[in-house]
């Protein structure tokens, strides 16, 4: 009897001990275009360094990433941590979906190792820190130096020069009466707002929140419409073209210029060798504007074990791990030490990124930005390009969205 | 009481119990299916109708205000609603007749005797068997203005002088998607009509032939009446499916360029899923359901009379 009681007590104790040290699972959502996904290697390294924590990482397709994330949050099935962009932050904060990370950041030795200002750039709309940067890029102009050389053209530094170059580059190269090369690959579908913004928001006094309906603002949108309708320097499919189409057309030699970031550089070099280079976007209307492409990670407020989720996201933004992460995404590391030893991209693309940094900007930290990116901009731009509405109407619609 | 009387008493009680069991049994057997249907169809429908009467934006989960019919009024004043409704009408009025006609011709051909007929019958089902997303991506490439086989083919034939951006031009985008969906859906009609054709006795044709009826009269007086029941059912099913289907549009154009390929289900989806405005999205979905129900009721009444 005594033995049975002892065994029983021992079992209860063992069970309680087991529960106290129960393993944590961190469900992590991310989006990688790269098929050589290194996440398994990073997870293995993390789990080895953090026994008791298991990471279940799910690669969610980019096109529906935020639709799925918002729905999962409302449905109570959100991941514990996720990759997130700044434009989504106001909405996620409004939903109460993010856990503050200020306290963790204060006690983490990796904070000082991050690139200057990156933490501040992704601070929440209420002044709280929710996002931990994991990679960044800046958009610039890709161009074909061989085509420019053939036609004796200079890389355009102003919108006027850009227009002339694009017109010259648009040509029938084999004499069959069909245009074989277009001057610029414009992204008219979702995600193309960065292209439009580079031609519109550089003008003095014009931003998404003010001045968009001014003469200068409307002239910017009209400039884009004219490039397509009058000059015909975009491929005819431009209104529907997304990321795959613009990059594919540039690699195939169908377009001579396009705008994207360093994430595409290695693929471009693989396809075109030395016949691809990069430069900052042109000066339009008296100034330059390019997009600062951010990507951070965040702990979600419903995380079962927020501490474990923080350990995982901070692991991804630590020296060495951050480099591995960015080797897969082709973007730039946020850790100073990783940046200094960075050799993944040819220097000319790193240089174009660095040269573009002084005028790189983010979209407004407002809840309206998600609608601007996802529906308002693509629909309005396509309608302008196809002649359904005017440039003035498009700018008015965007200004209205931002309360202007 | 003797054993004999007890047995007699039992035999008198048994019939009502058996009758009761017979009455209850069908309900008991049906109840799992009914419960599942209630849970996965009826409950979400009621929930959608309830949400449509509220201001419910998903990223403001704490705000769920009763607004009555405001979302419906907004929809009826929304230019995009009317554009989408018009596209839905075009979408249904062209896709379904085109599928039916192509399906009928295919079924008549497959009903003839020719070598490798079983293989042809199996191959014809491929478009129907392929997932919508695969079909949409395949046709996006066919229509591509730079590398698409459609432009290449038409250019070589000299029918066009310049590559046409089929999906990026608002004048051709909807028609291009309708062609895709016609290709995807016609095997359904072909298979259904073929089954109907095989149920018509050959003796009818033999008798008509002896009486000197031409092929056309045989088709009009024997074939069409013979398959009308199948056709009515097939058209009804396809009407509902085609009306609700937006997956192919979503993958091919996402509704663009502009609103050129917006249909009501797509508009409801974009409002709810992308803009997270579930109140407004639900109102559009409810309006569309009512319109579709009206179409189905009118169709059933008219075809019911015609078939009888």
The interface pTM score, or ipTM, of the predicted complex is 0.82
H or E stretch at B117 = helix B117-123
Least confident stretch, A5-19, A172-186, B225-239: A5-19
Q: How far is CA A212 from CA A218, A219, A388, in A?
A: 7, 10, 19
> How close is the nearest chain B Cα to the Cα of A344, in Å?
32
Give the pLDDT score at A35.
59
Percentage of chain A lying above the pLDDT 70 cut? 93
- As beta bridge partners, residue A83 has A297
Nearest Cβ partner for B258 among A95, A254, A379: A379
Q: Where are chain A's structural domains?
A: 24-137+292-360, 140-291+362-401
Rounded to an integer, what distance in angstroms lies between the CA atom of residue A168 and that of residue A42?
A: 48
Average pLDDT, stretch A185-190? 95
For an interface test with B, give the residue of A170, A190, A237 to mutate (most B CBs within 10 A).
A237
Buried (b) or exposed (e) across B81-115, using 16+ Cβ within 10 A?
A: bebbbebbeebbebbbebbbebbbebbbebbeeee
All residue ranges of chain B with pLDDT < 70 are 1-15, 305-308
pLDDT digits (tens, 9 = 90+) for A60-88: 988 788 889 988 998 899 999 999 999 89
| Assigned CATH class of A24-137+292-360 | alpha beta
| Helix-then-strand count for chain B, H and E | 15, 2
- In this predicted structure, the answer to whether residue A291 has a pLDDT above a threshold of 90 is yes
Q: DSSP string of A5-47?
A: HHHHHHHHHHHHHHHHTPPEEEEEEE----SS-THHHHHHHHH
Examine domains A24-137+292-360 and A140-291+362-401 and report if their fold is the same. Answer: yes
- In this predicted structure, the answer to whether residue A300 has a pLDDT above a threshold of 50 is yes
Least Cα distance to A316 among A305, A328, A324, A308 occurs for A324
Nearest Cβ partner for A382 among B145, B256, B276: B256
Enter the pTM of the model.
0.84
pLDDT digits (tens, 9 = 90+) for A197-216: 999 999 999 999 999 999 99
Rounded to an integer, what distance in angstroms lies between the CA atom of residue B124 and that of residue B106?
A: 9
Q: Quick one: pLDDT band at residue A139, thresholds 50, 70, 90?
A: very high
Rounded to an integer, what distance in angstroms lies between the CA atom of residue A389 and that of residue B294?
A: 34
- In this predicted structure, the answer to whether residue A179 has a pLDDT above a threshold of 60 is yes
Angle (nearest 5°) at CA A313 between A310 and A314: 80
Backbone angles phi, psi at A387, to 5 degrees: 80, 15
Least Cα distance to A140 among A376, A345, A403 occurs for A345
- The end-to-end CA distance of chain A, in Å, is 81
Nearest Cβ partner for A237 among B145, B162, B276: B145
Give the pLDDT score at B161.
87
- In this predicted structure, the answer to whether residue A8 has a pLDDT above a threshold of 60 is no
Least Cα distance to B185 among B106, B94, B99 occurs for B99
Count Cβ atoms below 10 Å from residue B132 Cβ, excluding itself.
17
Name the residue in chain A with its Cα closest to that of B261.
A379
For an interface test with A, give the residue of B270, B274, B281 to mutate (most A CBs within 10 A).
B274
The domain made up of A140-291+362-401 has a fold known as: D-Maltodextrin-Binding Protein; domain 2 (3.40.190)
Structural domains of chain B in order of their starting residue, each with its CATH number = 3-51 (no CATH), 71-307 (1.10.3720.10)
Backbone angles phi, psi at A213, to 5 degrees: -90, 0
Angle (nearest 5°) at CA A187 between B259 and B58: 55
Q: Which of residues 75-104 of B touch A (CB under 8 A)?
A: none
Q: How far is CA B237 from CA B22, B28, B99, in A?
A: 33, 29, 12
3-state helix, strand, coil in chain B (%, to 5): 75, 0, 20
Chain A residues whose CB is inside 8 A of the B58 CB are 70-71, 74, 95
Is B57 at the interface with chain A, CB within 8 A?
Answer: no
Chain A residues whose CB is inside 8 A of the B60 CB are 94-95
Is B273 at the interface with chain A, CB within 8 A?
Answer: yes
Give the pLDDT score at A37.
67
Query: Between A377 and A36, whose confidence is greater?
Result: A377
pLDDT digits (tens, 9 = 90+) for A213-252: 999 999 999 999 999 999 999 999 999 999 989 999 999 9
- In this predicted structure, the answer to whether residue A11 has a pLDDT above a threshold of 60 is no
Whether the Cβ atoms of residue A327 and residue A37 lie closer than 8 Å to each other? no
Query: Between A238 and A40, whose confidence is greater?
Result: A238
């Amino acid at each position: 009897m005594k033995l049975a009681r002892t065994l029983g007590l021992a079992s209860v104790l063992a069970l309680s001990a087991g529960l106290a040290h129960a393993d944590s699972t961190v469900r992590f959502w991310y989006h990688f275009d790269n098929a050589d996904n290194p996440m398994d290697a990073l997870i293995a390294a993390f789990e080895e360094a953090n026994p008791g924590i298991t990471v279940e990482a799910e690669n969610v397709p980019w096109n529906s990433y935020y639709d799925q994330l918002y729905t999962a949050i409302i449905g109570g099935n959100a991941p514990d941590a996720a990759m997130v962009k700044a434009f989504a932050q106001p909405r996620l904060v409004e939903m109460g979906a993010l856990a503050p990370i200020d306290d963790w950041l204060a006690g983490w030795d990796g904070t000082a190792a991050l690139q200057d200002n990156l933490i501040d750039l992704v601070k929440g709309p209420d002044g709280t820190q929710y996002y931990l940067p994991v990679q960044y890029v800046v958009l610039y102009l890709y161009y074909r130096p061989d085509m420019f050389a053939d036609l004796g053209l200079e890389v355009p530094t102003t919108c006027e020069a850009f227009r002339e170059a694009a017109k010259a580059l648009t040509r029938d190269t084999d004499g069959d009466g069909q245009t074989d090369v277009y001057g610029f690959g414009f992204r008219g579908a979702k995600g193309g707002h960065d292209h439009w913004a580079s031609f519109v928001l550089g003008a003095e006094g014009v931003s998404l929140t003010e001045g968009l309906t001014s003469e200068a603002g409307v002239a910017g949108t009209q400039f884009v419409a004219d490039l397509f309708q009058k000059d015909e320097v975009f491929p005819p499919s431009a209104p529907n073209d997304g990321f795959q189409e613009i990059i594919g057309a540039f690699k195939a030699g169908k377009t001579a210029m396009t705008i994207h970031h360093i994430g595409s550089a290695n693929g471009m070099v693989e396809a075109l060798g030395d016949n691809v280079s990069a430069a900052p976007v042109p000066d339009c209307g008296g100034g330059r504007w390019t997009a600062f492409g951010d990507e951070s990670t965040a702990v979600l407020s419903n995380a079962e074990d927020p501490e474990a989720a923080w350990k995982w996201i901070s692991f991804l933004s630590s020296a060495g791990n951050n480099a591995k992460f960015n080797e897969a995404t082709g973007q730039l590391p946020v850790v100073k030490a990783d940046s200094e030893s960075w050799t993944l991209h040819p220097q000319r693309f790193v240089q174009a990124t660095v040269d573009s940094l002084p005028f790189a900007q983010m979209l407004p930290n407002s809840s309206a930005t998600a609608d601007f990116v996802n529906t308002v901009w693509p629909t309005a731009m396509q309608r302008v390009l196809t002649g359904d509405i005017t440039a003035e109407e498009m700018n008015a619609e965007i200004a209205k969205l931002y309360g202007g | 009481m003797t054993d004999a009387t007890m047995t007699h008493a039992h035999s008198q009680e048994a019939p009502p119990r058996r009758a009761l069991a017979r009455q209850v049994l069908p309900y008991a057997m049906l109840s799992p299916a009914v419960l599942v249907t209630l849970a996965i169809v009826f409950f979400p429908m009621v929930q959608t109708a309830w949400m449509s009467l509220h201001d419910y934006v998903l990223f403001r989960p704490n705000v769920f205000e009763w607004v009555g019919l405001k979302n419906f009024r907004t929809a009826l004043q929304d230019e995009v609603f009317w554009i989408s409704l018009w596209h839905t009408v075009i979408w249904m009025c062209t896709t379904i007749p085109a599928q039916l006609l192509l399906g009928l011709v295919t079924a008549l051909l497959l009903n003839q005797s020719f070598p490798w007929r079983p293989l042809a019958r199996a191959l014809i089902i491929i478009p129907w068997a392929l997932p919508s997303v695969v079909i949409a991506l395949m046709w996006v490439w066919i229509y591509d203005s730079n590398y698409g086989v459609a432009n290449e083919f038409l250019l070589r034939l000299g029918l066009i002088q310049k590559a046409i951006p089929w999906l990026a031009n608002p004048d051709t985008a909807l028609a291009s998607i309708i062609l895709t969906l016609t290709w995807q859906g016609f095997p359904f009609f072909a298979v259904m009509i073929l089954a109907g054709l095989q149920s018509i006795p050959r003796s009818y044709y033999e008798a008509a032939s002896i009486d000197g009826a031409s092929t056309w009269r045989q088709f009009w007086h024997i074939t069409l009446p013979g398959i009308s029941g199948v056709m009515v059912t097939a058209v009804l099913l396809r009407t509902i499916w085609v009306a609700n289907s937006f997956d192919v549009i979503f993958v091919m154009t996402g509704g663009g360029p502009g609103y050129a390929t917006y249909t009501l289900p797509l508009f409801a989806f974009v409002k709810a899923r992308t803009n997270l405005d579930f109140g407004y999205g639900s109102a559009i979905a409810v309006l569309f359901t009512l319109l579709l129900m009206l179409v189905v009721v009118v169709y059933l009444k008219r075809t019911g009379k015609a078939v009888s």
